[in-house]
Amino acid sequence: MAHEDKTRLILIRHGESNVTVERILGGEKSCTGLSDLGRAQASALRDRLEKEAIEVDWLYASTMPRAIETAQIIQPALNVKELLTEKELVEHRPGEADGKPYDKLEELFGSNDYFGRPHTPFAPGAESLSGFHFRVSEALEEVIARHVGETIIIVCHGGVIDVAIRQLLDFPRRGQFDLWTLNTSLTEFAVDDRGDTRGRWTLIRYNDHAHLAGLPFATNSE
């Protein structure tokens, strides 16, 4: 498509994952894709995007199965032939905590002040919070620079969307960040076509999940 005056970036959190249902910390090793509800959420988003006839130039997904599966489900509603993947846009890498039950993490690795000690990994082999922020920020900047003046959809993760908001809106990089980005929600930014993440970005919408009306909040919701 022809370049426009603005670069648009639409971030979509993946659908509900099997690891969420199983209540384990799902990193790259343990992720097995979407739950039945996650697939229903992605299908609802696909139907919405098809009705809205959104014009998209590029579709990316992180290399984690839950992101790829979500992107594959919504792809037919978009005018893109190719699904690109970006390994540096995966969720926080938890090292030896990958695949461990959430209720065993403190027993296995001790208490963790994730936000108060951003340079300290919480488990052996894990990324620190600051390392995660640096990795994702660099990857976002590289993707945006490739597609100046175009519309990009990236199917990714809640943590990645947190980093994007901090990076693009110039929020503090440290401290508690109380966002709860829902599965398959849309978060959209726009900027003039400078081709980097240092322009004056505008947050168009955050956590837009209107298409989930009528679906359960979660498989394990009580």
| DSSP state letter for 213 | T
Please write the tens of the pLDDT for every residue from 112-149.
777 778 889 999 999 999 999 999 999 999 999 999 99
The structural domain count of the chain equals 1
Asked if residue 221 belongs to a domain, the reply is: no
Residue 97 identity: A
Q: Nearest to residue 19, comparing CAs of 62, 60, 64, 63?
A: 64
Residue numbers of the domain that contains 176: 6-211
In a domain, 218, yes or no: no
Residue 195 lies in a domain: yes
Q: What mean pLDDT is reported for the chain?
A: 92
Residues of the chain with pLDDT > 90, as a percent, come to 82
In a domain, 78, yes or no: yes
Does 59 or 177 have the greater pLDDT score? Answer: 59
Give the per-residue pLDDT at 2: 46
Is 126 part of any domain?
yes
Whether the CB-CB separation of 161 and 150 falls below 8 Å is answered with no
Max Cα-Cα span within the chain: 55
Q: For residue range 23-72, what is the model confidence (pLDDT) as tens digits?
A: 999 999 999 999 999 999 999 999 999 999 999 999 999 999 999 999 99
Confidence label for 196 from pLDDT (cuts 50, 70 and 90): low
119: nearest Cα among 135, 134, 130: 130
Q: Of 81, 73, 83, 59, which is closest to residue 151 (Cα–Cα)?
A: 59
Q: Is residue 216 part of a domain?
A: no
Q: Which residues contact 187 (CB under 8 A, 6 or more apart)?
A: 10, 11, 12, 13, 161, 164, 165, 181, 203, 205, 206, 207, 208
Tell me whether residue 1 is in a domain.
no
Classify residue 110: in a domain, yes or no. Answer: yes
Q: Does residue 67 contact residue 15 with C-beta atoms inside 8 Å?
A: no
Q: Looking at residue 27, which CATH number applies to its domain?
A: 3.40.50.1240
